Structure 1
């Protein structure tokens, strides 16, 4: 096999693992509940085999394998590591209902897979000494261990950004609903029905938890902890304080909505002020050299040509 084939196999394997395990953009609905509703709507009776075969290939093959390995590794993993990983998965929206032990298994799989691929490629090429091959393999193992963690951190950042951008619009809708005579719970339900984003899904989860018997106060606090966004934390604190003091919720929503719009405008202005600084590097090192080549290139070639002709005639 050629080195190009090894490179293609490595890229395909990494992309396959990332796509199969990190389907990060998922619906917040419980997959089991959704599947139960789908089969309950059917008129004919389906067998267990049909239900299992209807599951995606990753859910039938990779997920059970990861679960079994994680159940073994969780006994030897420090509790602090499990807690920090669980917290990070919670902030990321709990992708694919992954547990902390499952995520640790995924990191181990990435580490072994990437290290093995790099070692095999270097061995097949035979262009490096053993020490250098081991060094490259160690670097690939470190990259494979931290790559899932970096992907998860980027998920957390994207989710927080989406929540911050959507919060003013959600508060505007809730203010309109409350002014129209709906309760605060009904306003949250309207937000969940209108949009499909992390913030709307969190409001829907709060409604679902209250239907199961949890108090609204505790449900909102849990929602604030799951998102860890300062704007959401201040909004939840204001709502809980208004609920405790008996203040009208419509007035609180209107004030919070105005504050969130002001903060969003301030963040946009701050990013606009940072744009020239961020554009400096690509302009100096990428755009300007290209312009100089286009403008001065013909003149330079003309000068070289004239010098060569002068030397020949002289």
Structure 2
């Protein structure tokens, strides 16, 4: 059991990291607002119209219940098939109960390797969902400028926005084509455009999609030229992708150094555990050594998170 003094020391050590993470979170929210303002300025939105855009953007950010949040996460990962969702829930439940059973009833009979595996088993479905979400967002980000160009051409040819979206749904492949098909399906059901676009933005969750949704909402409610704004947004998205690719090239050495610094301690621990277990006996069998090992692992994780946050540069 961990004594009170050790817990106090650990909390005292973690406090600066928690403060830093809070600062990073607040900075991230501020940067999102700055990105929205910058996009408005670059596409020619006047200062007097910005309040209308923020008012339309605000309902998109409203808080959701846990169930709606879970459904939203699955939508963002493209896992909307009920069979896939049921399988994920079953696997998640089985892994959770299996790990809980091992750790609660067999803890004293398990070696360190089995304990580590049992601890991380329940996180495998979440890791799969996270990977699918990132993969899908990258595909959407690549398709989005092409979609905007197609909408601009359709608008300049005399189509309305509804007709342009119908054309996109037929011509574009998944995942973006599938999302636009869902938009058209909801339109035929008579759902309001504001609700449809909010749901569309929730499923896609990329900054450009948020601005696209806000632009359509304002245009449908107040009128105005839509094609020039979407054309400029498409140009900015392509510039952003080019800048991100160049930034990755220029910061490759720094990112490799950060990854090495983050993984080297864990790699060293793994090497000592598998190839020199005698030297790890103090950390695995002695209560003081276990406390030191736990504190060290927690600090390593926080350090890796901070390194990743420091290297996250966006345009």
Name the TM-score, length of structure 1 as normaliser.
0.53
Answer yes or no: is the 8 Å Cα contact 2:186–2:196 preserved in 1. yes
Distance 2:258 2:186 in 1: 49
- Higher RCO (C-alpha under 8 Å, 6+ residues apart): 2
Given the alignment, which residue of 94, 97, 101 partners 1:109? 94
Q: Which position in structure 2 is the counterpart of 1:196?
A: 173
| Counterpart among 75, 97, 100 of residue 90 in structure 1 | 75
Aligned to 1:33: none
Query: Does the 8 Å contact 2:154/2:164 carry over to 1?
Result: yes
- Deviation of the 1:178 alpha carbon: 1.4
State the partner residue of 1:139.
116
Query: What is the CA RMSD across the aligned residues, in angstroms?
Result: 3.4
Query: Is the partner of 1:148 in helix, strand or coil?
Result: helix
Q: Is 1:212 aligned to residue 189 of structure 2? A: yes
SS in 1 for 2:252: helix
C-alpha displacement at 1:217, in angstroms? Answer: 2.6
Q: Which moved more, 1:162-171 or 1:261-270?
A: 261-270
C-alpha distance in structure 1 between counterparts of 2:225 and 2:68, whole Å: 39
Q: Cα offset for 1:114?
A: 7.8
Contact in 1 for aligned 2:168/2:180 (Cα 8 Å): yes
Closer/same/farther in 2, CA of residues 174 and 83 from structure 1, 3 Å limit = closer
- Change in Cα spacing, 1:215 to 1:82, as seen in structure 2 (3 Å) is closer
User: What is aligned with 2:222?
Assistant: 245
Aligned-residue offset at 1:279: 5.0
Q: In 1, are the aligned partners of 2:150 and 2:168 still within 8 Å (CA)?
A: yes
Q: CA deviation at 1:115?
A: 8.8
* Mapping 1:145-164, distance limit 5 Å: 145-164=122-141
Structure 1 distance, partners of 2:244, 2:157, is 31
TM-superposed CA distance for 1:107, in Å, is 0.7
In structure 1, runs of 5+ residues without a counterpart are: 1-78, 120-128, 284-314
SS at match of 1:93: coil
The alpha carbon displacement at 1:230 in A equals 1.2
**1:173 paired to 2:153:** no
1:229 aligns with 2:178: no
| Unaligned residue ranges in structure 2 (runs of 5+) | 1-63, 261-315
Show CA shifts across 1:226-266 (max 9, x none): 22211100111112212222113222322222222222222
| Alignment correspondent of 2:55 | none
Q: Which moved more, 1:138-147 or 1:151-160?
A: 138-147
Q: Aligned partners of 1:95, 1:136: CA distance in 2, in Å?
A: 35
Quote how far apart the aligned CAs of 1:167 are: 0.8
Q: Give the counterpart of 1:262 among 224, 239, 259.
A: 239
Residue 145 of structure 1: SS of its match in structure 2? helix
Higher radius of gyration, 1 or 2: 1
Distance 2:205 2:107 in 1: 47
- Which residue number in structure 2 is paired with residue 43 of structure 1? none
Aligned residue pairs total 197
Aligned residue in 2 for 1:27:
none
Deviations 1:119-158 (A, max 9, x none): 9xxxxxxxxx983526544433322200101111111122
Matched residue SS, 2:81: helix
Q: Cα offset for 1:197?
A: 2.2
* TM-score, normalising length: structure 2: 0.53
CA contact (8 A) 1:206 1:220 kept: yes
